[in-house]
Structure 1
Amino acid sequence: MSSAAVKPELPLLPVAPLDGESGYLRWKESVLLRLHTLGLARALSEEYEPERPTVEKQRARERDDALCRGHILAMLSDRLLPLYAHHATAGAVWRAVGLTYDLDAGMDVFRYDEGTPLLENLARLQATLAAAGKLSQILMRCSIEFGGFPSEMAREVDKVPNVSMAGIWKIARRQVVSDRVGEVQRHARYTTDGQGSSSSDDSRPLKRVRQG
């Protein structure tokens, strides 16, 4: 029996080597995509058939695990490679890297970032709660109310009993549209007022000096 790994029909996307926490999420998803494409992702969980494998099956498993481990190690930077190369299996390497850098799963505190658009903050909140296994409408409402979201949005969310996740997004998008319309209106008023004052200054008649 041959290995479960398959030759990909499409070229593999390049994966930038992991070199620290900041690039972990993108690296993780890129590595998983590659391993699934190659048919090697199964080796990460180390879950196989319960029956005693034949010699041929066992060799195929060992080959897949070695290939999977090799791909993961190859996508680590030279700085990180020595830290994880001592793990014997692909699953052990994968878990060790995750223990080092997969910190979002333990985050319970969300802080609104004033320098980031409202909808991106909402997406980050949803992702944080989902990673922690605590995604629910109740926690979304509480986080919006006490996590620093604009007070206008918090009031609108609070008005709707048992608001759904889709309802929260609808309120947030309506808030963004309202803010943009308000900005356009303020700009229009500023432009009109500026032109009006300039026009009135230029239209004042010149006083004639009487000659005695």
Structure 2
Amino acid sequence: MNTSLFQAAGLARIRQACVVVCCSLAATWALAGPGAHGPNGEHLDQAPAAGATLAAGPRVEAQTDLFELVARLGAAELTLMIDRFASNEPVLKAEVEVESGALKAKAKFQADSGAYVLSDPALLKLLATPGEHPLLITIVAGAETDLLDGVLSTSAADAAGLDHDAEFGHGESRFPAWARWLSGGVLLLALVGWVRVRKARKLGMNSGAQA
């Protein structure tokens, strides 16, 4: 067996695995955050093609001249990703309050993900009820204050899915399940390739020493 060819093939597998991991994580982040836009304010992300996989659950988008956001309702929380409209720079450590009907509650900032999470039981129960839910979101970021509004549409199927997730304790995650499984599988493949390359190098060194 040609050891050098075996080593080259192993290294190629590792490079391919790293590329796949980076692409899958980048694609997931693009789905999670607010859409990018051009210099005139037009959003560059297009409507998803038929059959495309998107994060499950009711969601709403809103924007002003200062901020833009995407909010997604899960079984145990409402998650909000907030950017500055002009630059797409994430808005961090702001004060965020969500109001719907007679209820309102503050969302907590999560430093590890950069998201804002609302977990008020009464407000979540309201939003999980089938129907149209107007949202008024107050953002205070330093000296800047703005109000964003939108409508969260929850269908009967959405409500049933949220009830199912709550019953079985499915937690929220920044990345969908398919991305986590794909990344884990590719990392495992990369590890296997690395081990094979190490073994091949060791065999090559032993063969050279014996010669």
TM-score, length of structure 1 as denominator length = 0.25
| Greater length-normalized contact order (CA 8 Å, ≥ 6 residues apart) | 2
Instruction: Compare the two structures and name the one with the higher strand fraction.
Output: 2
Larger radius of gyration, structure 1 or 2?
A: 1
